[in-house]
Structure 1
Amino acid sequence: MEPEVIAMHVDLSDGRRLDVQVAGPAGGFPLVYHHGAPGAAVLYHPMVAAAARHGLRTVIYARPGYGHSTASPGRVVADAAADTAAVLDALGLGEFLTVGWSGGGPHALACATLLPGRCLGAATIGGVAPFTASGLDWTAGMGADNIEEFGAAVRGDPALTKYLQAQADVLRTVTASDLVAALGDLVSDVDRRQLTGGFARYMAESFRTAVTAGIAGWHDDDLAFVGDWGFEPRAGCPVAVWQGDQDRMVPYSHGQWLAARVPGVRAHLLPGHGHLSLLGDAFDDILDDLVANRA
């Protein structure tokens, strides 16, 4: 049986509103999931069930500009820590664990760095490294679409807006059966095999919901990734980095850089995994490690 999902809005003190979904055991320890880019407050039921088996209650919010979350132009990655704290406050929750996949990875690191004592553990799954990371060729190994997208982000508006509007036109109506073609060379063979059944339906729903109100969230995420994150990533709590060597969205070198440069992280650099397969096939292992190593 699929877990009950509570969909709600959280109103923030600055007048913004965030889309939020919550699912899992009522007394479970909070697990905040930071979605990818583009993404939205959409939960994948097998991930919620895996979290519940670990005694965790899953909380996801759509970053500003995605879905019906109010945009926040000029936001930086660090701002996710305050938004996460505000969502948890509204839910009456205190300490938490967090996971960030893909573009959510930096936002999980923001929580680990900027909410010490409240964030008790964090994991990044195929998460990007800082754009200005020393010794890292940031786009090397990415699929052509990502190279074009982040090249546009570096150029700023109107190049980024033009690029994302064209992509959003595709994602607005994308279906599960369309995903492999829509993602093109961004998916390796192992990730193509992942894009079936419920996982493909979840990804398509997340993409469609992400661009419901336009490209603001995606646009502001991209600018935040290639700009100053607003903090220096460090482990203010136990942090794990998970990365596959068949990842064409966020290359293996990003995980290697984070594992080598963020003090105190646990590195899980896995041969044979891609960007999607880690999320779809390794989530139980990720939660095992997260729960076992919480502060």
Structure 2
Amino acid sequence: MHKVIRTPDGRKLAVETRGHPLGRPVFLLHGTPGSRHGPAPRSTVLYRMGVRLITFDRPGYGDSDRRPGRRVVDAADDVAAIADALGIDRFAVVGRSGGAPHALGCAARLPDRAARTVALVPLAPRDADGLDWFEGMTEDNVRAYTIAAGGPEAVTAALEVRAEAIRADPRATVAAMHGMVPDPDRGVLTDAAIRALLVRNFAEGLRTSADGWVDDVLALSSPWQFRPEDIGVPVLLWHGAQDVFAPALHTRWLAERIPGACLEVPPDAAHFGALEVFTRALRWARW
């Protein structure tokens, strides 16, 4: 079911709900770039699990209004606004890739509402003490996050070119990934259904502009405005050891600082392995 929800500051957020209408509510925060149409279990699977899955275009993506200057922790405001509009008190939050730090922001900012949080293949804060942030990261991501030091204009100039190419042919973009990723991810990307989901995800997220992507890169390159040490709700961290987009060192760093966090780093998985563990992650999140 599609809804348009207004935030207290007047912004529009595009929201989708699927699965069991009376099930446990779980927010899924998409990756970077992405949209509410990102990969997720089918509605029939969600229904059998008793999960009411809530996805939304984060600010600047798809049909959601931009929030200039947003920080990672600001995602908690949007999740709370959507939950209020839907009449939901407590919920779980799952974030994948660029959405995972935003999910952790919900855990930190909304301890009385976010019952459980899952972070799949997350990045650590850019100012993470003792972490070589770029170690093991693919050249494209190193370039994007290095450009962030030049400010919004530099990031916009770089990412709008890439966004235009994706808009022109999202299938070619997904197909090109096959040659850029380690073997475990190639195995995932051979699944035609997953490729189709990724095509739809990228096409919708960047349909009108690169604003969401730009703001994600800037937010992920800036202080998060919360400390992982301050998270007080149960957290599951999952990361494929062979990930080259967000290296597993980032998740290990987070696991050392989030009190009581459960950590899984399978050696035979990489970035897109997170798509294969969504169902299990949702079962864990369904408190």
TM (norm. structure 2) is 0.94
Q: Would you say the 8 A contact 2:16–2:56 is kept in 1?
A: yes
2:256 aligned with 1:260: yes
Counterpart of 2:67? 72
Stretch moving more, 228-237 or 41-50: 41-50
What secondary structure does 1:78 align onto?
A: helix
Counterpart of 2:242? 246
- Equivalent residues in 2 for 1:97-108 (5 A)? 97-108=92-103
Count of residue pairs brought into register by the alignment = 285
Identity of aligned residues (%): 37
2:26 aligned with 1:31: yes
1:188 maps to a residue whose letter is P
Mapped partners of 1:43, 1:151: distance in 2? 26
Counterpart of 2:129? 134
Q: Deviations over 1:269-292 (max 9, x none)?
A: 11111111222x22222223333x
Stretch moving more, 228-237 or 99-108: 228-237
Q: CA deviation at 1:47?
A: 5.0
**140, 152, 168: which one pairs with 1:157?**
152
Counterpart of 1:146? 141
Unaligned 5+ runs, structure 2 = none
2:211 aligned with 1:213: no
What secondary structure does 1:263 align onto?
A: coil
Stretch moving more, 231-240 or 220-229: 231-240
Q: Would you say the 8 A contact 1:235–1:265 is kept in 2?
A: no
Counterpart of 2:273? 277
Q: Would you say the 8 A contact 1:175–1:201 is kept in 2?
A: no
* Runs of 4+ displaced beyond 6 Å: none
Counterpart of 1:3? none
2:18 maps to a residue whose letter is A
Counterpart of 2:233? 237
Mapped partners of 1:225, 1:210: distance in 2? 18
1:86 maps to a residue whose letter is A
Mapped partners of 1:76, 1:289: distance in 2? 27
What secondary structure does 2:52 align onto?
A: strand
Q: Would you say the 8 A contact 1:235–1:264 is kept in 2?
A: no
Q: Deviations over 1:198-217 (max 9, x none)?
A: 11111111111111121111
Mapped partners of 1:165, 1:275: distance in 2? 24
1:278 maps to a residue whose letter is A
Q: CA deviation at 1:13?
A: 2.0
Q: Would you say the 8 A contact 1:244–1:273 is kept in 2?
A: yes
2:192 aligned with 1:194: no
Mapped partners of 2:132, 2:179: distance in 1? 22
Q: Would you say the 8 A contact 2:23–2:51 is kept in 1?
A: yes
What secondary structure does 1:255 align onto?
A: helix
1:8 maps to a residue whose letter is K
- After superposition, the Cα gap between the structure-2 partners of 1:49 and 1:244, relative to the gap in structure 1 and judged at 3 Å, is farther
Unaligned 5+ runs, structure 1 = 1-5
Q: Would you say the 8 A contact 1:96–1:120 is kept in 2?
A: yes
Q: CA deviation at 1:95?
A: 0.5
Q: CA deviation at 1:177?
A: 5.6
2:248 maps to a residue whose letter is Y
Task: Report the RMSD for the aligned CA atoms in angstroms.
Answer: 1.6
Mapped partners of 1:53, 1:237: distance in 2? 26
Stretch moving more, 152-161 or 162-171: 152-161
What secondary structure does 2:105 align onto?
A: helix
Mapped partners of 1:13, 1:157: distance in 2? 25
Q: CA deviation at 1:48?
A: 4.2
Mapped partners of 1:276, 1:193: distance in 2? 9
What secondary structure does 1:163 align onto?
A: helix
Mapped partners of 2:182, 2:151: distance in 1? 29
Mapped partners of 1:249, 1:49: distance in 2? 31
Mapped partners of 1:213, 1:177: distance in 2? 19
